[in-house]
Structure 1
Amino acid sequence: MQRTIDWMDGSVVIIDQCALPGTYRTLRLDTVDELIDAIARLAIRGAPALGAAGALGVVLAARAGGAVSEEAARVAKARPTAVNLSWGVARALAKLPEGVDAVLAEALEMLDEDERTNREASRLASEVVLDLCGRRPLRLLTHCNAGRLATVGWGTALGVVWHLQAGGFVDSVLVDETRPLLQGARLTAWELAEAGIPYRVLPDNAAAAAMSRGLVDCVLVGADRIAANGDVANKIGTYGLAIAARHHGIPFVVVAPQSTVDYSIPGGGSIVIEERSPAEVTHLAGVAIAPPGADAFNPAFDVTPASLVTALITETGPHPA
């Protein structure tokens, strides 16, 4: 299976997530500018995939010569909330004194490591889910996309679904559409269909109603940045899901690699939240759905307090330990 992001013949090669589900295509990115554009328009997205993109951005900069550190800083700032992006840049940049080949070797190791890490995190999380819910076919609810498209090649929260399905423990998955850019309806549903797992897409504002009707056994989400105290920044709408899950007594489980934990931030109040263009809200597929000139509040992420998280699992186990 093709990786979401990879290095091939001197170029960064990605699955273009803006084209799915209608078209499956790959893009070759040969410059830092092309990589930054792909990150900004979400052709590359998902915290672990962004970590890989950060490292490969340093490779592109180092191979081009010039002010590598300045170019690397531009990559790191392309999206401010996902800590993996700056983490990937810093890790690859640390190898620059050893030469371009050392930078590339580090980036390639990070690609392999990402898949191993997320397989282990999701494996551990799948056992936590079964402990919480019982070893039976489960009705799961997801938000945004935390599958292979959000990582190099496996997935975090959706990786849990792959493990549970292999054991015969998935009844079906409810997929939040994830407004305004529909990563759930476009990407998660596509991955589940590809895997042959029963699913239904639902509007984000129907999730609480589904819980109230007994249609959800567990909520599974990923994360873009985790504060030292366990507060979780994830796609906008995650906080509301956590509140609804707590009200209905449903486990709310977060799955992410350890690299997503930012120990420099004590709590979620210090996490910078990216705000995106109002046009993403006021337009749908290029068609206006609000009056001309309408403004919009369009944060890409929100912060869920650790007190609402039933379990937060990385490849090393529960966090905070």
Structure 2
Amino acid sequence: MLSTVAQVYPVVWQEDRVLLIDQTRLPNEYIVVEISRYEDMARAIKTMIVRGAPAIGVAAAYGVYLGARAIQTSDRDQFLAQLETVAQELRETRPTAVNLFWAIARMLKTARQTIGPVEYLKETLLQTAKQINADDIQTCQAIGDHGVKALPTSPEKLRILTHCNAGALATAGYGTALGVVRSAWRDGRLERVYADETRPRLQGAKLTAWECVQEGIPVTLISDGMAAHCMKQGLIHAVVVGADRIAANGDAANKIGTYSVAIAAKAHNVPFFVAAPLSTIDFSLSDGSGIPIEERDPVEIYQVGDTRICSPGVEFYNPAFDVTPAELITAIVTEFGAFAPSELKPQLHEKQAV
């Protein structure tokens, strides 16, 4: 049994390296991985040692700095050219999470716009990565507080369903969807969390349930196929999920299975909320059809631990994400407030900046 971890910060800068909670080892082991090279950061993102769109963005920002630190030249143009190579390797790790690309773009913009010797550029990049890290924690706390205000006012204490993990582990701390849960628990508005197990990686079972236990938040784990039944039984008052990329019209990509939950929520008149920072909104995409969907190794489907669960010869399809249409979403909760999907572009486009 793991001892209780008071506060969860999955990405931390310490002295000259990054410390990552190895999320592939939870809930059975709490292991911290030290990252000192950008190649190792790219591997950690790709293998899901660190996961969740905001956390990936923070990790990628530090990855850009680690790559910059290793560049051995005092020539500015050569430095920027080599930094682009570092950035491209990091971009190729996870195609769906737009926060990854946002953070890398911000780091590159910092490098291009900073005047001074290369060593000064490197130091400025580190400070920018630290700022991205700190900003994300504040952003998640704001999302949580806006989310509580958007939740149904009745009953007084709510039972909230969530899918996958959009908690402190998926961000720099506090969480997006679980940030709303945390704020609701703090304010006495939460009775219980229902967590989908989230096949095939089981982030709900392994990560969301673990986070809730750390803070004493009542949590009930259900299989993915039970969500509609729980809604029909009146057990769920609201659904709150995160997102890895949101199109300009409000279509939202999140962990595979989210779309099914949204359909069930619509059928049972349960409000469905997406909680995500402004950096998750990709205004360059008019709708969700343009969101790239990552496909992962089929071993995630046919094997649990060391045990194969189906016959040899079976074919597999393993998309990591699906896209929930805007018409199924009650509101999208950001650090600036909760907005109907149709309000995203007119209300928030001008606020977004790299």
TM-score, normalising length: structure 1: 0.97
Instruction: Give the gaps of 5 or more residues in structure 1.
Output: none
Q: CA RMSD in A?
A: 1.1
User: In the alignment, what sits opposite 2:234?
Assistant: 214
Deviation at 1:295, TM superposition (A): 2.3
User: In the alignment, what sits opposite 1:163?
Assistant: 183
Q: Are positions 1:109 and 2:124 aligned together?
A: no
1:88 aligned to 103, 106, 121, which one? 103
Q: SS of the residue aligned with 2:138? A: helix
- Separation in 2 of the partners of 1:263 and 1:286? 42
AA in 1 matched with 2:68: A
Instruction: Give the gaps of 5 or more residues in structure 2.
Output: 1-6, 73-81, 115-120, 348-354
AA in 2 matched with 1:69: E
Q: Are positions 1:240 and 2:260 aligned together?
A: yes
Can you list the C-alpha shifts for 1:238-261, whole angstroms capped at 9, x where unaligned?
000000000000000111000000
AA in 2 matched with 1:124: H
Can you list the C-alpha shifts for 1:67-126, whole angstroms capped at 9, x where unaligned?
221111110121000000011111112122431011011100111100001110121011
AA in 2 matched with 1:243: I
- Separation in 1 of the partners of 2:253 and 2:25? 26
- Separation in 1 of the partners of 2:217 and 2:60? 32
- Separation in 2 of the partners of 1:65 and 1:294? 47
Q: SS of the residue aligned with 1:295? A: coil
AA in 1 matched with 2:141: R
User: In the alignment, what sits opposite 1:56?
Assistant: 62
Q: Are positions 1:29 and 2:35 aligned together?
A: yes
The structure having more radius of gyration, on CA atoms, is: 2
Aligned length: 319
Structure 1 range deviating more: 163-172 or 64-73: 64-73
Q: SS of the residue aligned with 2:191? A: strand
User: In the alignment, what sits opposite 2:335?
Assistant: 315
1:146 aligned to 152, 157, 166, which one? 166
Q: Are positions 1:17 and 2:23 aligned together?
A: yes
Q: SS of the residue aligned with 1:95? A: helix
- Separation in 2 of the partners of 1:149 and 1:201? 18
- Separation in 2 of the partners of 1:62 and 1:204? 42
TM-score, normalising length: structure 2: 0.88
List, as ranges, runs of 4+ consecutive aligned residues in structure 1 with deviation greater than 3 Å.
none
CA contact 1:276–1:300 (8 Å) conserved in 2: yes
User: In the alignment, what sits opposite 2:149?
Assistant: 127
- Separation in 2 of the partners of 1:7 and 1:182? 28
What's the % identity of the aligned pairs?
45
- Separation in 1 of the partners of 2:305 and 2:40? 23
Gap change, CA 1:205 and 1:135, over 3 Å in 2: closer
- Separation in 2 of the partners of 1:12 and 1:77? 20
- Separation in 2 of the partners of 1:38 and 1:163? 30
AA in 1 matched with 2:243: A
CA contact 1:5–1:53 (8 Å) conserved in 2: yes
Structure 1 segment 189-200 matched on structure 2, within 5 A: 189-200=209-220
Deviation at 1:133, TM superposition (A): 3.9
AA in 2 matched with 1:292: P
User: In the alignment, what sits opposite 1:38?
Assistant: 44
